[in-house]
C-alpha cells in the first residue's frame, strides 16, 4: 500500500484519497445542461434536464434548475438538443470485410477497431458480436471495461454450427457432429470468456441437406445454461423456433421468416421468456434491392469509401444480384419478418434491436438507424424502437452499466439535433457521441483525406 501511494497516480492511491474524503483533484468532470432527456427506459422525454459526468460515468441527472455545478467542471449548454443513451446493436459481425469484399483474412485487430470506430461515429456505442470472430475478439471485449473510445464489445466468440449445415464462416473450425462435441465447444467458448452462446438452425432456403437436429441444439442449450450462459439462436423457420423455445433457448437472433407466427408459438415464447433479441429487418430489406436505395444519402456515404459506393452502384452488381435464384424470395421473407415482429411485440414478447451488420454490404452503424426506421414501419412507436436499442438490449445482454441515462452508468451518450420520438429518422441528426464521457472523434475514419460532400466538403 505504501509503495502504491508513493507512486502517486495508481488506482489504489486514488481509492485511498476518496475514502479519506480528500478532494478528488484529478476527477474529470463535465456538465451537460438544458437538453431534452430520453433516458432509455421508455419514460416520456423530459425537457430542461442536466447531467454531470465524472471520470467517464454519469454521477448526477436531473432538472437543470436543480443542477449544482461541481467546481472546475466544464459546462456545455445543449438547448434545443435531445440526449439519449448510445445505441446498442445486439447482432453484428466484426472484421469480415474490407470494403465489401468478404474474407476472414480481414479479421485483424486493426480492422475490427476501425469498424468499432465507425459504429461509434454513428452513435452505436456498444455491439454484440454473434459467432464469427476468432479468439482475437476476447482482448477487444475486455476493453469495454474501461474508458474506451470505440464501441464496447460483447461477444459469443464462435457460434456452434452443425456439421455440413448452415452458419459460421469459412476459415473457422466451428462445426460439431455430436452432442458431445457440441458440449465441448460450448465449454471452450465459455472458458474463453464468451458472454453468451450462439447456435445456427437453418438450411438456406432448403439448399443445404440438414438443419441442426434437436439432440444437438438441446445439448448446446443445456451445456450453456450449466455454465451460466444464455443462448441465442439463428432461426428462419417457424418449426425450429417452436422446437428451440421448447428446449429453453433464451433468444432468437432473427425473425421467423417462412410463415406467420401463431398463438401457440407466441404463448410458448412468453411462458418460457424467449426474447426476440434482434429482428434484423435491415438485413432482410437489404437483400430485396438490386441497388441499395440510399447510395446518395450523405449519412450513408460518409461511412464508406468512394470505391465502395461505386461498386454498390454498378449495373454489373445489380444484374448479378437480380439473377441469383433466391432473389425473388427476399421480399416475402422481409414481409414475414416485419409482420411477425409486430405480432410478437403486440403479444408482449420481450425484444431488442439488432441488424446482423458486418457481412458484405451490411454496413456498421448505418444499418442500426435503418433498423430503427423499419421497426417503426413494422408498427412500433419510435419510443419502443429506441428503448429496444438501449435499455432492453442492455438488459438482455446483462450489460448493467450501459443502456440508460442514470447515475452510475457509463456516460455513453447520443446527442441529437432533432426529436427522434417525433420522427425516428431524427436518430440520424447526430450532434455528438460520447463514450465514457469522451466525445467520439467527429472525423469519420473513412473521411480522412476526402473532400467530397459526404465528408462535409473538407478533408
Q: Which parts of this chain interact with Zn ion (CB under 5 A)?
A: 130, 356
DSSP 152: E
DSSP letters, 377-390, are HHT--HHHHHHIII
**For Zn ion, the closer CB: 91 or 369:** 91
Considering the complex, state which of residue 113 and residue 356 has its C-beta at the smaller distance from Zn ion: 356
Place of cell 422525454: 45
In the chain, what is the greatest distance between 2 CA atoms, to the nearest angstrom? 72
Give the whole-angstrom CA distance, residue 343 versus residue 376: 13
* CB of 250 or CB of 356, closer to Zn ion: 356
Handedness of CA 71, 73, 77, 78 (dihedral sign): negative
Neighbours of 1 (CB within 10 A): 8
Supply the minimum distance, in Å, between the C-beta of residue 22 and Zn ion.
49
Grid cell, residue 383, equals 419510443
Give the shortest CB-198-to-Zn ion separation in angstroms. 8
What is the nearest approach in angstroms of Zn ion to the Cβ of residue 93?
Answer: 6
Provide the minimum distance between the beta carbon of 310 and Zn ion in the complex, in angstroms, as a whole number. 27
Question: Taking the CB of residue 353, how many other CB atoms lie within 10 A of it?
Answer: 30
Residue with nearest beta carbon to Zn ion: 356
- Based on CB atoms, which residue is closest to Zn ion, 92 or 447? 92
Residue 94: CB minimum distance to Zn ion, A = 11
Minimal distance, residue 297 CB to Zn ion, in Å: 24
C-alpha cell at 395: 438488459
Measured from the CB atom, the residue of 344 and 356 that comes closer to Zn ion is 356
Segment (H or E) for 153: strand 152-158
Q: Is 119:86 a contact under the CB 8 Å cutoff?
A: no
Q: Closest Cα to residue 88, out of 401, 304, 301, 343?
A: 401
- Min CB(112)–Zn ion separation in Å: 16
Q: Which is nearer to Zn ion, 238 or 252 (CB)?
A: 252
Lookup: cell for 70:
461541481
Rounded to 5 degrees, what angle do the CA atoms 186, 188, 190 make? 65
The DSSP output letter for 189 is H
Residue 52, strand partner residues: 31, 60
d(CA 409, CA 69): 19
Q: Are strands 97-98 and 161-162 parallel, antiparallel or unpaired?
A: unpaired
Distances 88 to 5, 45, 91, 352 between C-alpha atoms, Å = 39, 19, 9, 9
And the C-alpha cell for 303?
461511412
Spell 410-434 as b/e; 16+ CB within 10 A means b: bbbbbbbeebbbeebbbbbbbbbbb
Element housing 431 (H / E): strand 430-435
Closer to Zn ion by Cβ: residue 31 or 244: 244
- Residue 276 CA: distances (Å) to CA of 85, 191, 245, 353, 394: 21, 26, 11, 9, 14
The minimum distance between CB 278 and Zn ion, in angstroms, equals 8
Choice between 51 and 389, CB closer to Zn ion: 389
Q: How far is the CB of 124 from Zn ion (least distance, A)?
A: 16
Nearest to Zn ion of 356, 371 (CB atom)? 356
**Helices then strands, each counted (H, E), the chain:** 16, 19
25: number of Cβ within 10 Å: 7
Smallest distance, Å, CB 72 to Zn ion? Answer: 46
Smallest separation (angstroms) from Zn ion to the CB of 339: 21
Min separation Cβ 159 and Zn ion, Å: 8
Amino acid at each position: 500500500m505504501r509503495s502504491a501511494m508513493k507512486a502517486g497516480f495508481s488506482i489504489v492511491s486514488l481509492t485511498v484519497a476518496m475514502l479519506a474524503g480528500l478532494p478528488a483533484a484529478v476527477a474529470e468532470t463535465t456538465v451537460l445542461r438544458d437538453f431534452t432527456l430520453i433516458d432509455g427506459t421508455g419514460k416520456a422525454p423530459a425537457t430542461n434536464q442536466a447531467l454531470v459526468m465524472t471520470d467517464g460515468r454519469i454521477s448526477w441527472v436531473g432538472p437543470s434548475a436543480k443542477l449544482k455545478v461541481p467546481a472546475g467542471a466544464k459546462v456545455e449548454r445543449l438547448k434545443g438538443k435531445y440526449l439519449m443513451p448510445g445505441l446498442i446493436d445486439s447482432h453484428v459481425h466484426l472484421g469480415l470485410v474490407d470494403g465489401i469484399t468478404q474474407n476472414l483474412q480481414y479479421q485483424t485487430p486493426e480492422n475490427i477497431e476501425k469498424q468499432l470506430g465507425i459504429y461509434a461515429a454513428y452513435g452505436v456505442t456498444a455491439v454484440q458480436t454473434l459467432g464469427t470472430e476468432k479468439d482475437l475478439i476476447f482482448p477487444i471485449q475486455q476493453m469495454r471495461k474501461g474508458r474506451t473510445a470505440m464501441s464496447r464489445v460483447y461477444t459469443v466468440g464462435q457460434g456452434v454450427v452443425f456439421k455440413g449445415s448452415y452458419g459460421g464462416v469459412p476459415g473457422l473450425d466451428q462445426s460439431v457432429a455430436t452432442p458431445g462435441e457440441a458440449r465441448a465447444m460450448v465449454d471452450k467458448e465459455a472458458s474463453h470468456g464468451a458472454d453468451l452462446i450462439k447456435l445456427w438452425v437453418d438450411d438456406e432456403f432448403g439448399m443445404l441437406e440438414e438443419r441442426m437436429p434437436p439432440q444437438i441444439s438441446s445439448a448446446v442449450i443445456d451445456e450453456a445454461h450449466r455454465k451460466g450462459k444464455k443462448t441465442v439462436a439463428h432461426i428462419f423457420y417457424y418449426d425450429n423456433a417452436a422446437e428451440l423455445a421448447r428446449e429453453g433457448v433464451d433468444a432468437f437472433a432473427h425473425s421467423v421468416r417462412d410463415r406467420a407466427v401463431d398463438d401457440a408459438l407466441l404463448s410458448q415464447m412468453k411462458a418460457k421468456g424467449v426474447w426476440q433479441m434482434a429482428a434484423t429487418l435491415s438485413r432482410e430489406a437489404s437483400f430485396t434491392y438490386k441497388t441499395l436505395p440510399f447510395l446518395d444519402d450523405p449519412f450513408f456515404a460518409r461511412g464508406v469509401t468512394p470505391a465502395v459506393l461505386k461498386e454498390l452502384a454498378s449495373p454489373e452488381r445489380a444484374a448479378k444480384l437480380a439473377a441469383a435464384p433466391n432473389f425473388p424470395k427476399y421480399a416475402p421473407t422481409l414481409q414475414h419478418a416485419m409482420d411477425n415482429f409486430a405480432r410478437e411485440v403486440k403479444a408482449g414478447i420481450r425484444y431488442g434491436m439488432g441488424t446482423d451488420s458486418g457481412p458484405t454490404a451490411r454496413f456498421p452503424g448505418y444499418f442500426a438507424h435503418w433498423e430503427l426506421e423499419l421497426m417503426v414501419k413494422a408498427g412500433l412507436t419510435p419510443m419502443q424502437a429506441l428503448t429496444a436499442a438501449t435499455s432492453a438490449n442492455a438488459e438482455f445482454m446483462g450489460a448493467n452499466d450501459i443502456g440508460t441515462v442514470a447515475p452510475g452508468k457509463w456516460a455513453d451518450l447520443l446527442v441529437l439535433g432533432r426529436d427522434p420520438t417525433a420522427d425516428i429518422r431524427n436518430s440520424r441528426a447526430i450532434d455528438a457521441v460520447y463514450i465514457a464521457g469522451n466525445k467520439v472523434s467527429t472525423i469519420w475514419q473513412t473521411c480522412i483525406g476526402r473532400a467530397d460532400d459526404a465528408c462535409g466538403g473538407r478533408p
